[in-house]
């Protein structure tokens, strides 16, 4: 029996979460317009990642992301401050320190019973540490990245809460995407 593998784009309905995600990114882009492009990047990515089917799921994802962002940002600040104060740590020793701090990221998330935050914590830590420019002030650099991410999380939570909120029922599956 021959199967027909037609692409049925026309029959696909765009769900409410898709529109809300687009709206959240738009709001992030507008709010971060006066700032450098990386601020818009981090806030928009956070909004996309946190937007879920229901308010409860968005809040849970936002909480995990906030916790992971703050912990990853604090550890990145500690690392960057240490490396800037002790210059010989910037070479091969930095590879060991970064790897050890990834373990600390995961460990802290587990201690605080926020296992869902460990991936974000590690990602924030790595992005901040590996993308840092030598001429940027450490606290400003880390602070901007953390605040931009928190902005995206907040926008996602507010949009999902107030723009056609979907109740937490067992029917909230594919049709809400």
At 51-66, the pLDDT tens digits run 998 889 999 999 999 9
Q: Predicted confidence band at 88 (pLDDT cuts at 50, 70, 90)?
A: confident
- What pLDDT score was predicted for residue 118? 95
In the block, residue with structure tokens 């928009």 = 44
DSSP 117-140: GHHHHHHHHHHHHHH--TTS-HHH
Least confident span in 78-82, 102-106, 115-119, 171-175:
171-175
Instruction: Please state, in angstroms and rounded to a whole number, the distance separating the CA atoms of residues 123 and 135.
Output: 22
- What pLDDT score was predicted for residue 174? 45
- What pLDDT score was predicted for residue 75? 96
SS3 (DSSP) at 21: helix
H-state helical runs in 32-54: 37-50
Least confident span in 24-33, 91-100, 128-137, 168-177:
168-177
Q: What are phi and psi of 58, to 5 degrees?
A: -65, -40
CA dihedral 137, 106, 157, 131 (to 10 degrees): 30
- What pLDDT score was predicted for residue 168? 57
Q: Whole-model pTM? A: 0.77
At 158-168, the pLDDT tens digits run 999 898 876 65
Helix (H) or strand (E) holding 143: helix 138-162
- What pLDDT score was predicted for residue 64? 92
């Amino acid at each position: 029996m021959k199967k027909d593998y037609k692409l049925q784009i026309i029959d696909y309905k765009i769900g409410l979460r898709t529109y809300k995600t687009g709206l959240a990114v738009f709001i992030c882009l507008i709010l971060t317009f006066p700032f450098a492009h990386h601020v818009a990047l981090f806030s928009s990515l956070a909004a996309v990642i946190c937007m879920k089917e229901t308010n409860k799921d968005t809040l849970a994802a936002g909480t995990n992301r906030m916790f992971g962002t703050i912990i990853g940002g604090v550890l990145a600040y500690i690392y960057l401050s240490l490396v800037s104060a002790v210059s010989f740590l910037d070479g091969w020793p930095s590879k060991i320190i970064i790897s050890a701090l990834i373990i600390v990221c995961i460990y802290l998330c587990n201690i605080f019973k926020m296992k869902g935050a460990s991936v974000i914590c590690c990602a924030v830590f790595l992005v901040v540490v590996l993308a840092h420019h030598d001429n940027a002030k450490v606290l400003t650099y880390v602070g901007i990245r953390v605040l931009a991410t928190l902005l995206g999380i907040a926008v996602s939570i507010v949009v999902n809460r107030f723009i056609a909120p979907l109740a937490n029922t067992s029917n909230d599956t594919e049709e809400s995407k």
